[in-house]
């Protein structure tokens, strides 16, 4: 058995060894088989080493989920970035669905084990990246609502699609479910690109204009406003973006 080591680079190397061992258990035997004793045996360490390095089993699971998600993104050259933020967002949706369907065990660790008020580290990073991409859509004047609401809608829809499809036997899955849901979500949160490509906010509705202004102000950096004034401005812009549409 390997002696317990918890300092310097040796601890980091040992931590990675344990994560890789846990990932092997996950891929070979499933989440239910991932006891600390099983992982310790696979890694060649004493079980207390896992608690010393990761705090508890939840800490180990978070690290394994992060490893799986990062490995998948690296294989896919990470989330794309082009001159069309809506097209990039669409590819990000497809990447999310593909990750969920091809790496279901890792997906559960990243998105499927959220406790009340808590999401895994990898899940939080994914949502933060989604919000960054949504902000780019707002800067292009193509967001129909606040960045936060659009991010929440797309995240909820993506997780819901993957969870539903993974609970269905593979031979009976309707893969178009993800495509149809994606199109419905994008119709709801994004505005079409005008043929003459007007500046962000010009001729747009209040929601699109408000989010366009928010994105422009964010890019401008420091503003001559107090912290309280900045919060008030953000609240007002979000309120304009999220006002319910009148129905006739």
Whether 108 and 221 map to the same domain: the answer is: yes
Residue 73: inside a domain, yes or no?
no
Average pLDDT over residues 100-114: 87
User: Residue 248 — pLDDT band, cuts 50, 70, 90?
Assistant: very low
Provide the token pair at 2. Answer: 């390997």
Q: Does one domain contain both 112 and 20?
A: no
Q: How many CA atoms lie within 13 A of 10 on its CB side?
A: 7
Residues 204 and 145 in one domain: yes
pLDDT of 243 > 80? The answer is no
Domain that holds residue 214: 79-241
Are 50 and 159 in a shared domain?
no
In this structure, the answer to whether residues 107 and 213 fall within a common structural domain is yes
Let me know if residue 72 belongs to a domain: no
pLDDT for residue 222 is more than 80: no
Judge whether 159 lies within some domain.
yes
**Domain match, 174 and 108 both:** yes
Average pLDDT over residues 166-178: 92
Maximum Cα–Cα distance for the chain, whole Å?
73
Provide the token pair at 43: 């890694």
Q: Is residue 151 part of a domain?
A: yes
pTM above 0.85, yes or no: no
Q: What is the Cα–Cα distance from 113 to 34, expressed in whole angstroms?
A: 15
pLDDT for 117 equals: 63
Give me 246's structure tokens.
């009148």
Number of domains in the chain: 2
Secondary structure (3-state) at 173: coil
Tell me the mean pLDDT in the region 106-134.
84
Does residue 66 lie within any of the structural domains? no
Kindly state the percentage of the chain with pLDDT values over 90.
48
Give the H or E element holding residue 100. helix 85-102
* CATH code for position 19: 1.10.10.60
Task: Taking residues 158-176, report their average pLDDT.
Answer: 93
- Are 95 and 154 contained in the same domain? yes
């Amino acid at each position: 058995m390997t002696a317990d080591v918890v300092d310097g680079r040796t601890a980091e190397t040992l931590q990675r060894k344990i994560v890789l061992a846990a990932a092997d258990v996950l891929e070979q035997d499933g989440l239910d088989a991932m006891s600390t004793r099983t992982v310790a045996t696979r890694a060649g360490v004493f079980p207390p080493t896992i608690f010393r390095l990761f705090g508890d089993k939840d800490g180990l699971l978070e690290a394994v989920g992060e490893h799986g998600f990062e490995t998948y993104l690296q294989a896919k050259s990470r989330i794309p970035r082009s001159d069309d933020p809506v097209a990039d967002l669409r590819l990000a949706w497809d990447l999310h669905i593909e990750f969920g369907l091809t790496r279901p065990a890792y997906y559960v660790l990243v998105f499927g084990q959220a406790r009340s008020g808590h999401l895994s580290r990898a899940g939080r990073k994914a949502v933060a990246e989604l919000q960054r991409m949504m902000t780019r859509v707002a800067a292009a004047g193509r967001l129909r609502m606040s960045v936060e609401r659009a991010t929440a809608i797309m995240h909820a829809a993506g997780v819901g699609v993957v969870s539903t499809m993974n609970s269905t036997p593979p031979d009976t899955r309707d893969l178009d479910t993800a495509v149809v849901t994606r199109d419905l979500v994008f119709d709801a949160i994004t505005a079409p690109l005008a043929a003459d490509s007007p500046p962000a906010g010009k001729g747009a509705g209040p929601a699109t204009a408000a989010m366009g202004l928010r994105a422009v102000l964010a890019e401008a950096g420091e503003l001559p406003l107090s912290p309280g004034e900045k919060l008030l401005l953000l609240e007002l812009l979000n309120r304009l973006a999220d006002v319910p549409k009148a129905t006739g």
